[in-house]
Amino acid sequence: MARVRLSVAERREEMLRAAVGQIEERGVAAVRIADVASALGVSNALVLYHFSTKEKLVAAAFAYAAEGDLARLRALLGRRTSALRRLRAAVRWYAPTGQAKGWRLWIEGWAVALREPALREVTRDLDRRWKAAIAAVLAEGVAAGEFACADPAAAALRLTALLDGLAVQLTSYPGAVPRSRAQRWVDEALARELGLPREALTARGR
């Protein structure tokens, strides 16, 4: 059956989705241009035409995945509800005990970013934008009198550092930390940063 003719933008997005899938399955070090081409039923030359090197393809794939995660974060934080509800939803989604997918992908990305400047820029940008988004909603909640937080930027850093660290433990060492315990730690950390009792995170009307 003949393949549907795609625009350049559509073809690139198709390749990026395939690259993300191959990285999740094989790891950055093992994945090859040929793996992405084979997954799509196209030639190696076509993939190279769009990205020229494996390194550029990998960096672009991580940037594509990052934009997907940030879009989901913006949707959660943009809801028409209290800052507390939005923070709780975002933190629980992002936590390794929540519904966010792809932690293995990001752990791979962090490791490779130590040696690849282009990928390091992608992961650094994602980290910066995540913290900024969380800090902004923390500041909104303080301004609205919902909770107290003396330094939203520092609180955002501490929260994301905890979530990232738990992701490494739960993903790399299954069973090292029970998921229920990790979720409790996340809730306790969020409540502590907001100056609220943990029970306030689930109280009706909040």
CA distance 6 to 8: 6
Whole-number pLDDT of residue 81: 92
pLDDT category, 2, cuts 50, 70, 90?
Answer: very low
Instruction: For Cα atoms 8, 12, 22, give the angle at the middle one, nearest 5 degrees.
Output: 160
In this predicted structure, the answer to whether residue 1 has a pLDDT above a threshold of 50 is no
CA distance 72 to 76: 6
Residue 4 vs residues 1, 7, 89: alpha-carbon distances, Å: 9, 10, 39
pTM (two decimals): 0.82
The helix/strand/coil state of 56 is: helix
In this predicted structure, the answer to whether residue 117 has a pLDDT above a threshold of 50 is yes
**Is the CA virtual torsion 203, 131, 158, 161 positive or negative?**
positive
In this predicted structure, the answer to whether residue 206 has a pLDDT above a threshold of 60 is no
